[in-house]
Amino acid sequence: MDKTVIILAKQGDIHTTTVATEVSASFNGHPIILDTAGYPDDWCLTLLPNQDDEANWILHAKDFAIKSNKLAGVWWRRPNSHRISKEVKDRKVRGFCMDEARAAFLGWIHCLGNRVVNPVAAESAANRKPFQLLKAKEVGLRIPQTVITNDPEEARRFLDGQGERAIFKTLTGVQWQFAETRQYKGEYSGTLAKVRYAPVIFQEMVKAELDIRVTIVDWTAFTVSIKPDHPFAQLDWRLDAAAAIEPHQLPKEIEDKLLNFLRELGLRFGAIDLRLTPEGEYVFLEVNPSGQFLFCEIHAGQPISRALAASLLRGPSTSRL
């Protein structure tokens, strides 16, 4: 079995180093952590489409070289933007170099198909919240009543039906502040017209007995319950660093639907957020195809890093459903 794994990630990412350690220590594999900012300035990628599948690309830098037939898998963790050499001065030429680097690099990644966790095209689609919600509904998961709109009147019509039992959140994250889920209040009505500048997700507020995080690695589900105590964290448990986190047993029906959901999205890894209502109903909120999981290991003893390392070395596997 080929033992080399490439992890595409920014420097200093703790999830990256943890999985790389598992690849090496637990499975005697060879992890290579690549910061994609180093391409094309620090390392080289050569594509040879006329060669057979056993040797149709070569990737090398000062301290390593790897050919296609020696690669077990790639973890598309959190890649950086490519960095163009400072020797290229002209702004237009720098833009051209960036476009060329991106085209060659992404072309290579797409060629790897399901050896990548996750396949890039599938991850890109799965990151779109409207698509997630539609697919979750199609596999039989309960989703909140939802409106995604930049039409103030459509937003107002939905909110009038929910009263103050509604929340709103962004479709994407931002780097300059934490964008948490918030309850909609009447005092916001004066600013509702501003949604025409950027669409917003409005949803019914789902009351939670517990928040549930399900991390799936190649058809194995690792599930924890999360119970925030801080009053400001009742809508978004991430705001409570001291939330109680414990192992949780999903009903088989729900687990099977989640596994089917990831298969429909074409993902091999996903971090799924659910809410368990006081009535015992599981409600799907969202999936993050590159979500955090070490907190589940630390607080609930779940071996997700080891499972991910094994998955990268093993390659794509079939569903058990």
The mean pLDDT of 101-116, rounded to a whole number, is 93
Q: Over the stretch 179-220, which tens digit does the pLDDT of each residue have?
A: 667 777 777 788 889 999 999 999 998 998 999 999 999 989
Domains of the chain: 4-117 (no CATH), 125-141+207-314 (3.30.470.20), 146-204 (3.30.1490)
Q: Which residue has the tokens 């089917």?
A: 260
Predicted confidence at residue 297, as pLDDT, reads 95
C-beta neighbour count of 288 within 10 angstroms = 18
The mean pLDDT of 269-283, rounded to a whole number, is 96
Closest CA to 224 of 133, 161, 144, 304: 304
Q: Over the stretch 52-63, which tens digit does the pLDDT of each residue have?
A: 766 688 998 888
DSSP letter, residue 127: T
Question: Residue 26: pLDDT band by 50, 70, 90 thresholds?
Answer: very high
Q: What is the helix, strand, coil percentage profile of the chain, to 5? A: 40, 25, 35
pLDDT, greater one: 177 or 138: 138
Per-residue tokens: 171 = 């479709």
Instruction: Give the span between the Cα atoms of 230 and 274, in whole angstroms.
Output: 19
Indicate yes or no: pTM above 0.85.
yes
